[in-house]
Structure 1
Amino acid sequence: MVTSYRFTARRRGLAAAGAAAVLALTSAACGSSSDSSSMPGMGHGSKSSASSSPGASPSMGGMPGMDHMASGNGLSDTQDGYRLTSKEATLPSGKQTAYRFTVTGPDGRPVTGFALDQTKRMHFYAIRSDLTGFQHIHPTMAADGTWTAGVSSLPPGSWRLFASFTPNTGAGRGKDFVLSRTVTVPGNAARTPLPAPATSTQADGYTVTVKGEPMAGMAHPLTVSITKDGKPVTGLEPYLDTYAHLTAFHEGDAAFAHLHPTTKVTGDHGGPDLTFHAELPVSGNWRLFLQFQIGGKLHTAALTLRVG
């Protein structure tokens, strides 16, 4: 498993001057499995949405987008003695199911103490190998350290499941981890070609436009603009302590990156423009999933970005 990329970041003030690159794999809180932005069977199209749960608790950290870096690209189930374990090697097709997993520490025992960040102690992601079917879930943890993620209906294929967290005790206290395992959903898995790179996409009547031409390994700003019927959208509501949640997956290996907007949250009136500082370490196509909330409803837009 490759572990050399530096993708994740948790929010806090950067001391460096200038535009700092932030690539965050979100760590998060004990939410509910129903508090998810799962996109059942979401293909490469972007006309899907999911309802979000109200009631977010404050997170630790500084301004949105001001994050510290954490090692790992999420493509391993182990790092620094921490391990993502699960008995589940397959999941059923076409129906909601519960995926149970545990994070064990260097002592081999289940970890039960997790730091709160972006209102959650655990973020859980599912993506199919062709970068379709994106789901972002906030699982629940039992007293023994077993997490349960309510995964929406999955089409057949190979899926990678990511757990992003930060221990608040033990050897890894305060460090971001992103670990993953793969599962198989039996059935006829028809591969969906990745859409060509584009600068804009549609989601639930909203137009999302991305400006910027990032180069691999270099910090570069990205600006995301949201409009509807040709008019700027200025009613973005806070979602996970930001006005938008941006997740990226690399074509081929599904390496996972998460970027936060640097726009400060000042109320329920964000938009239409959100700025991200990105440093995508490898060239190629990245599939971006932008989640934003308006009127209590969560929308997800998908777009392919080419990194030179």
Structure 2
Amino acid sequence: MFASPRPAAHRRALAAAGTAAALALTLTACGSSSDGSSSMPGMDHGSKPSASSSAKASPSMGDMPGMDHMAAGNGLSDNKDGYRLTSKDTTLTADKQAAYRFTVTGPDGKPVTDFAIDQTKRLHFYAIRSDLTGFQHVHPTMAADGTWTADLDTLAPGSWRMFASFTPDRGSGKGTAFVLSRTVSVPGTATKTPLPTATKAAEADGYTVTVKGKPMAGMEHPMTVTITKGGKPVTDLQPYLDTYAHLTAFHQGDTAFAHLHPTTKVNGDNGGPELSFNAELPTSGNWRLFLQFQTGGKLHTAALTLNVG
């Protein structure tokens, strides 16, 4: 205990220093998102990585840099709050590139054409096979009438779920993040790939991704991802989609969707080696995580299974 109270000005200075230190600890790692190719079996990626960028992307919905606004729900419905994902494509051809066309309609039944920018894009699109292989993350193009076209890479036979992640920029849903989905059948002889066992590390293009942390279902929990190459820390992660790493997760059994982002804003082409996340996965069980990051203008995708208690 102190013999006498400190002057008020001194106490205020200490409080301000403590606040700054806490903020610095919160902003300790970065992440960048990306779509593209990977050498790992069972994964296809349809988007091309963007050029390395010091350029700032448009802010999304007033969020803090590097922070993602979380969409409500698990994405397993094609409609929510009057918004609906519609498509005439119920089947797609196996073993070849395919175009999936869809529309987002609003509560008035009309196609939505005004979307807010989120991570530099108006809409993010994901395709995942029912056994959690074949992951693709692409950015479709929209025609003037509100019809979107997602150009997908080769699809293996089986059942696929197509997710659209978006935020309307007008109407009753303005500012609300939605994830809606529909299933598509790819005819042919489907061979189910067993889900790899839960692990803390994965390889991709010579990089090793290690995950530290034990998320609990329905609770926000800190999680750290470390990226190394040849045993050495990687410190040249480049910004992509306004972050240094893009992390998408799908739940085994029902393919429920979750989207996680690092907690720090981007600062040039020197991200890494550690990326901090606030992970919140709603359901217990096994989740397949797909971490996308970019170096030297090339996108890398690492996949691993995480067990959530």
User: What interval of TM-score do these two structures reach, taking the shorter chain for normalisation?
Assistant: 0.7 to 0.9
1:36, distance to aligned residue in structure 2 (A): 4.5
SS of match in other structure, 1:70: coil
TM-score relative to the length of structure 1: 0.84
1:215, distance to aligned residue in structure 2 (A): 1.2
TM-score relative to the length of structure 2: 0.84
Q: Which residue of 1 aligns with 2:305?
A: 304
Native 8 Å contact 2:39 2:205 kept in 1: no
Q: Which residue of 2 aligns with 1:30?
A: none
Using a 3 Å threshold, how does the CA distance of structure 1 residues 202 and 220 change in structure 2: closer, same or farther?
same
2-structure distance, mates of 1:287, 1:162 = 16
Which amino acid counterpart does residue 156 of structure 1 have in structure 2? P
Native 8 Å contact 2:86 2:102 kept in 1: yes
Per-residue CA deviations over 1:127-177 (Å, capped at 9, x if unaligned) read 000000000000000000000000111000000000000000111111111
Larger Rg: 2
The sequence identity of aligned pairs, in percent, is 72
Which amino acid counterpart does residue 58 of structure 2 have in structure 1? S
1:59, distance to aligned residue in structure 2 (A): 2.6
Q: Which residue of 2 aligns with 1:146?
A: 147
Q: Which residue of 2 aligns with 1:182?
A: 183
Native 8 Å contact 1:212 1:222 kept in 2: yes
| Selected match of 2:50 from 46, 50, 53 | 53
Using a 3 Å threshold, how does the CA distance of structure 1 residues 49 and 82 change in structure 2: closer, same or farther?
closer
Per-residue CA deviations over 1:246-288 (Å, capped at 9, x if unaligned) read 0000000000001000122111000000000011121100000
1-structure distance, mates of 2:70, 2:158 = 32
Using a 3 Å threshold, how does the CA distance of structure 1 residues 53 and 226 change in structure 2: closer, same or farther?
same
Q: Greater shift after overlay, 113-122 or 49-58?
A: 49-58
Gap runs ≥5 in structure 1 = 1-16, 20-25, 27-34
Q: Which residue of 1 aligns with 2:15?
A: none
Q: Which residue of 2 aligns with 1:260?
A: 261
2-structure distance, mates of 1:50, 1:236 = 18
Native 8 Å contact 1:262 1:276 kept in 2: yes
Gap runs ≥5 in structure 2 = 1-22, 27-32
1-structure distance, mates of 2:47, 2:241 = 15
Q: Greater shift after overlay, 95-104 or 48-57?
A: 48-57
1:27-176 mapped onto 2 (5 Å cutoff)? 36-37=35-36, 42-43=41-42, 51-54=48-51, 58-60=57-59, 61-176=62-177
SS of match in other structure, 1:194: coil
2-structure distance, mates of 1:293, 1:161 = 24
2-structure distance, mates of 1:186, 1:92 = 7
What is the total number of aligned residue pairs between the two structures? 277
